[in-house]
Every structure is written in structure tokens, then in C-alpha cells.
Amino acid sequence: MIDPKIESAIEAALTAFSRYNSFDAAQLTLRFYDVFASDDDFLSKVNSLDAAFDDYPQLEILREIFFDLLMINFFSADVKKLEDDYLETKEWEEIEEETLDRGTELLNLLLYLNECEDEDIEPDLEDYLKEFLLVDEDEFQDEYRIYEPVIKNQILMESPVEEISRVAETLPDDSEIKEIFYPMMCFFQNLEASDEEKTMIAEYSLNKDFDMAVVEILINFK
């Protein structure tokens, strides 16, 4: 099964990537649909996803964010076919352990957007940090450490995208949030970006094909 929001996000991401890259990733939309919609178990789907990226190394930069999408699709669509308590089983625990080093912080953001939809609330950066990630709580200091650049730069919500780009460029390479900092902040600043505003986001992006793919995932997923 494939969640309709994931389906839209995949198509939009590949189209955006193609717009800013010489490789036509949009031609692979149906291949990714097949991976996500497959009745295989989760790890088999991961193997199929990796095989697609292995076949097309031009797309390597999207591998881990597509893993995030695959995980979200599992939570929202695939898990409906399994026992109610599957996510508490030893089998799922082993899968989590095996995929511990996969994916990005985009996964948390997509989980948050799902929660916003369930509770009928508008996504908001402060809400994401304090109410979802609980960065102010002592027991969630790992989240605080990862998101510290975001926490300290919330003023960027009132700044032009040029300033978001400037700050993104200063983040250390080992920052776990560096990869998605720019598209995430641009998304929270403007949840309903017009085509003209997306063009502006792309203009100041340091990594246009990746950043615009992430922006389109977030907009379409929301």
C-alpha cells in the first residue's frame, strides 16, 4: 500500500530534483511507486529502495530522505495490514536496530506533520520544537543538541530566505540538522509557498536539487 500523501510527495520531489539537475529523475516515479506499494516486508522494501538508488547513482543525495518517506509510509499504510501491537514486537525492535543509522531528521518532521493533521493544527516551528520534540525537557537533551541551530535561529522566521541561506552555510559539516536546515526553515516560514516564492527559495539554495526536493516533499505532505 502507498499513502496518497507519500505518492504526491514522491512525484513532487523527483520533479523538483529534475528541474535543478541534469538528470531526469521524474522518469523513475513509477519505479518508486512500485517499491512503496509492494506487499513485501519492510526490510525487503528497504532493499528494493536501495537497489533503485544503486541503479541510478545520480539520485544518491535523495537516498536517505526517501528512506524517511518509506518509513512514514510503513507507519501510515503498511502497518494497517499487521497486528495492532506490531510496533511493540521484538521483530520491529530488531528492524529499528538494523536501520538505526538510516534516514534523516526529516522523519521527525514528517511525523510531526502527520500529528498536526490528526489534531487539526497549523504546523509551527516553535510548536514542533517545544511540543513535539520537547527540546525544553531534561530527558530530551539529544533533541536539544541536534536542533540547537534551529532553536537559536528562530528569528529567521521573520527574515528573508537569503538570511536563512547565510545561516545554513555557517553550520558545521557534522551538524545532524545541516542537511535539511535550509528547506525546513523555508517551509516553516511559508507553509503555502507560491511558485514565485519557491523560485526565490531555489535562488538562495546552496544545494538546489536536494533542497527543492525536500521543500516539495514537505509542502505536498502537509
Domain boundary among 80, 103, 126: 103
Do 117 and 218 share a structural domain?
Answer: yes
Domain that holds residue 154: 104-222
Q: Which amino acid, 67?
A: F
Cell numbers given for 23: 538528470
Q: How many Å apart are CA 14 and CA 61, to the nearest integer?
A: 12
pLDDT score recorded for residue 217 = 96
Residues 191, 82 within the same domain:
no
Domain final residue, candidates 103, 135, 166 = 103
Tell whether 57 and 121 lie within a shared domain.
no
| Number of other residues whose CB lies within 10 A of the CB of residue 87 | 15
- Residues 27-45 as b/e (b if ≥16 CB within 10 A, e otherwise) read ebbeebeebbbeeeebeeb
Closest CA to 132 of 155, 149, 107, 96: 107
For 77, the grid coordinates are 499504510
pLDDT at 107: 94
Q: Tell me how far apart the alpha carbons of residues 100 and 78 are, in angstroms, rounded to a whole number.
A: 20
pLDDT at 1: 82
Q: Are residues 19 and 57 in the same domain?
A: yes
Q: List CB contacts of 153: < 8 A, sequence separation 6 or more.
A: 167, 185
The CA distance from 36 to 13, in Å, is 15
Q: What is the mean pLDDT of each run of 10 residues along the chain (222 residues)?
A: 92 96 93 94 94 96 97 82 75 85 93 93 95 84 90 94 96 93 96 92 95 96 81
Q: How many domains are contained in the chain?
A: 2
Residues 56, 74, single domain; the answer is yes
Q: Is there a single domain that holds both residue 59 and residue 119?
A: no
The reply to whether 14 and 96 lie within a common domain is yes
**Residue 71 DSSP one-character state:** H
Q: Are residues 96 and 109 in the same domain?
A: no
Contacts 24+ apart (CB under 8 A), 133-139: 133/108
Residues 6 or more apart whose CB falls under 8 angstroms from that of 130 comprise 136
Instruction: For residues 68 and 218, give the distance between their C-alpha atoms in angstroms, rounded to a whole number.
Output: 12
Domain limit, last residue, from 103, 121, 151: 103
Give the model's pLDDT for residue 122: 95
Q: Could you tell me if 23 and 36 lie in one domain?
A: yes
Same domain for 122 and 199, yes or no, is yes
The pTM score is 0.92
Q: Which stretches of the chain are DSSP H helices?
A: 4-19, 29-37, 42-55, 63-76, 90-98, 106-119, 125-127, 141-152, 161-170, 178-189, 195-204, 208-221
